[in-house]
Chains A and B, each alone.
Chain A
Amino acid sequence: MFNKALWIKEWKQNGLLWLMPILAFFGVTSTRLSYVMDSENSKLMNLKMFQEQGADSFYLATNNTYGTIIMLVVFLCWLGVNQIGAERKNLMNDFTFSLPYKRWEIYLNKFTVGFVTLAASLVIATIIDMAIVLFSPFGMFFSPSIHIYEAVVCLSILTAFYSSLLLVGTMTGGSSMQLLLTIIFNLFPVLFAGLVLYFVEVNFGAENFLPNMDFGNMFMMLYSTPFLMYLGHIYPEFSVIPVILYSVVCLGLGTFLYNRSKLENNGKMLLFAKLETIFHFGVTICFALLGGMFAVVVSEETILHYYIGFIIFGLLAFFGFNYIKKVRFKG
């Protein structure tokens, strides 16, 4: 599967990949380094506090998983968009597809370049982080399993996000659309659930309807993207299995779609005409629901205003999408 030529090409094309280990280092170690490099007085006070509260409190206070994830997500956005979306706006895509390799091989090598760099960066950063704790006055709290847990959480969440970003890139015609749709995809379940709940509340009354709803299923839906899986978990019960499954599904779908790429549609919103119908329907419904919610919130009136907003926003979205799907974007 490893292809030297494709790796050379990807490394050259994504010249800032070397930044990833540096970002991972700052993300993983920054909080603990700040404790270690604190003044002697503060260090003694903190040491005393953690001794009283237990070893776990040291790790809870110095955990920077959120920061690491956010920092690396921004970097992965650049990487994924540069690998797929940005290729579409110049002749790079022609060059890539003219190479004597199968498209799935090209796609998997793109993914592997990002994944291996990410994994290596996190492993190195975690080893340094362990050394920082171990050889500091806080060494008495050292727990390798917590470091490994944090690294696994970061790696799995970021891999899942990265695979979804590449998947969206196989469907969209350019970098801006890839980025926009990735953000929407990753927040979609929560936003959509919010819109549907509002619709239910306005039409049927929350008190009549909500008690009958299956909240188990609702939460399954809410936690169906990597970020939401992470935000919804309770420490230390994070399960990597759904996140790995999510990555595998995204990677499989991405490979399938990349194999069928329609380069003649580069620059358009979507590469596949069949997907346009699904998106058209989805966008119209979401905007209609949003319009209804907006009308009620603004007017503080009820069902009639809801449907006026619903219809106006729905129609605007329907015709707007009709127009946008024919436009070729430069970015």
Chain B
Amino acid sequence: MLNVKQITKMIDNRMILDKVSFQVSAGVIVGLVGRNGTGKTTLLRTIMGILDPEGGTIEFEGKSVHNFPETKQQMLYVPDSPEAIHMYTPDECARLYQAIYPKFDHNNYETLMERFELPRRKKIRTFSKGMKALVSLILAFSTRVSLILLDEPTNGIDPIVKKQVLSMIVEESAERQVSFIISTHQLEELERIADQIIMMKNGGVEVQTSIMDTEERFAKVQVVFSGEAPQELLNLPRIYLLGQVGRVYTLLIEDETDKTLNEIKEVKPLLLEKLPVDLEDLFIMKLGGGKHV
């Protein structure tokens, strides 16, 4: 469906995107994560044809998005702040979207607006932050496009509505094969809904993995060593120190997990406990938040 090939983008003589490549298939939810300023929003804007890349191509259904903007009838970008539609009422905006996106589903729009009890004839600029985000999402879902790019979609939404929004995303993806690329810092949300995770660092893709892959490739353990911590072991490149409290070490092991666990067992630790790996651990390990032993 979407094929991002070797995209490079420079802004103010700084490489913001450096040969970014990935693919998104139909009905897949992709989580785009990275520290602030790593180029996530620039990537979304480039995919949507808002910015022109210096190199590489972005193809949707085999057609270049930049050369054939009509392909964007099947794509929609929801920025983190819907400033562009502030002057509209939701109904006016729905009329505009109806003129742009031929498959716009007005019944779906009306149903969702009623479900979330949102006013339809008040200017969007008068809405709270959460309401604005919700209206943008409802409009996006009603366009019936095949790919939706969301930049921080749950910012400002209360936990109850957030849960509903996330389940709507999963529903759309499962029932209508809509794909999503979601840029967010809410890692626990992504863990629940994303099929794939793309981690960006310094403008490039640092890791591209699925949640299932993560469970297979990584192991998280809590260890208490009997004496001094064995530095030789901790210095192995596949072992990352996530945290240390006194003699309690929390480690993340990448690849060859069984072999590494055996090596740890050989030094006879007082405690060796396996913990579930979460996305945040991976984020800290890969994107420089933690300290490599």
Interface residues of A (CB under 8 A from B): 4-5, 8-9, 12-13, 15, 90-103, 260, 262-264
What residues of chain B lie closer than 8 Å to A262, measured between beta carbons?
Answer: 52
Shortest 8 CB-CB contacts between residues of A and residues of B: A95-B84, A5-B99, A100-B72, A100-B73, A91-B83, A97-B50, A98-B48, A5-B100
Evaluate contact between B69 and A92: CB separation under 8 angstroms: no
What residues of chain B lie closer than 8 Å to A91, measured between beta carbons?
Answer: 79, 81-84
In the complex, besides A12-B87, A90-B84, A97-B49, 9 extra interface pairs with C-beta distance below 8 angstroms are A5-B99, A91-B81, A91-B82, A94-B79, A96-B84, A97-B50, A100-B69, A100-B72, A260-B52
Evaluate contact between A98 and B99: CB separation under 8 angstroms: no
A/B interface sample: 6 pairs, CB < 8 A: A8-B99, A92-B84, A100-B72, A100-B73, A100-B100, A264-B42
Evaluate contact between A263 and B69: CB separation under 8 angstroms: no
Q: Which of A5, A90, A101 contacts B69 (CB 8 A)?
A: A101
Stretch touching chain A among B88-96, B205-213, B219-227, B272-280: B88-96
Chain B, residue nearest A9 (CB)? B96
Evaluate contact between B50 and A94: CB separation under 8 angstroms: yes
The complex places the Cα of A97 from the Cα of B76 at a distance, in Å, of 11
| B24 within 8 Å of A (CB atoms) | no
Q: Closest approach, in angstroms, between the C-beta of A10 and any C-beta of chain B?
A: 11
Given A13-B87, A90-B83, A92-B83: A98 and B96 interface contact (C-beta under 8 Å): no
Chain B, residue nearest A264 (CB)? B11
What residues of chain A lie closer than 8 Å to B73, measured between beta carbons?
Answer: 100
The complex places the Cα of A212 from the Cα of B11 at a distance, in Å, of 50
Chain A, residue nearest B80 (CB)? A91
| B45 within 8 Å of A (CB atoms) | yes
Given A5-B99, A9-B96, A94-B45: A100 and B70 interface contact (C-beta under 8 Å): yes
Evaluate contact between A99 and B88: CB separation under 8 angstroms: no
The complex places the Cα of A203 from the Cα of B100 at a distance, in Å, of 62
| B71 within 8 Å of A (CB atoms) | yes
Chain B, residue nearest A326 (CB)? B12
Chain B, residue nearest A7 (CB)? B99
Evaluate contact between B100 and A99: CB separation under 8 angstroms: yes
Q: Which of B41-97 contact A (CB under 8 A)?
A: 42, 45, 48-52, 69-73, 75-77, 79, 81-85, 87-88, 92, 95-96
Give the residue among A12, A98, A264 with the most B Cβ atoms within 10 A. A98
Q: Closest approach, in angstroms, between the C-beta of A296 and any C-beta of chain B?
A: 41
The complex places the Cα of A210 from the Cα of B42 at a distance, in Å, of 57
Evaluate contact between B51 and A12: CB separation under 8 angstroms: no
Q: Closest approach, in angstroms, between the C-beta of A200 and any C-beta of chain B?
A: 41
The complex places the Cα of A91 from the Cα of B45 at a distance, in Å, of 11
The complex places the Cα of A100 from the Cα of B60 at a distance, in Å, of 12
Evaluate contact between A94 and B84: CB separation under 8 angstroms: yes
The complex places the Cα of A119 from the Cα of B81 at a distance, in Å, of 37
Q: Which of A5, A90, A98 contacts B77 (CB 8 A)?
A: A98
What residues of chain A lie closer than 8 Å to B42, measured between beta carbons?
Answer: 264
